[in-house]
Amino acid sequence: MNIVVGSDKNGYPLKEEIAAMLREQGHTVFDVGTTDLDSPRPHTVTAPAAAKMIQEGKAERGFLFCGTGMGMSIMANKHKGIYAAVVESCYAAEYCRKINDANIMCVGAFIVGTGMAKEMANIFINTEFMQDFPQWRIDFCGGQQKIVKQLEEDLFK
């Protein structure tokens, strides 16, 4: 899978750990920064760069890291077709994919440790939208997704 990662200064160490794990698993990882602690990139630069890679089809999923995950999520979600979820548990990693079709997982390095972040990342990349749902729930989530996409068409003109 093609995956984009990015961070600010606070999320840099955790981003490096997750990127290394993903590469070891055979994924192609694109790093949009911060790549050097002497030249940190803020969330206002990093999140749009990651969002653009997904919009252009260069990456299927993304991981963004900052202190809380909130700034990255806010910035990424300003882009059409981007569904960036702040994730602090394995349950959230699974269900942001299953229910909301999130394509970017945002993690707060001040909140989530490396071990938990690795577990969450693995769940996020191995879970599909509506995976293992009964038909009634697939119908419901599919209908909700259509509403979200129509709202995007109306707002992102």
Q: Report yes or no: 68 and 111 within 8 Å, Cβ to Cβ.
A: yes
> Which ranges constitute the DSSP H helices of the chain?
12-24, 43-55, 70-76, 90-98, 114-125, 135-155
Instruction: Look up 66 and say whether it is catalytic.
Output: yes
Token readout for 96 is: 């942001």
Catalytic residue among 66, 90, 106, 141: 66
CB atoms within 10 A of CB 30: 16
Return d(Cα 100, Cα 34) in angstroms, integer.
28
Residues assigned a catalytic role: 66
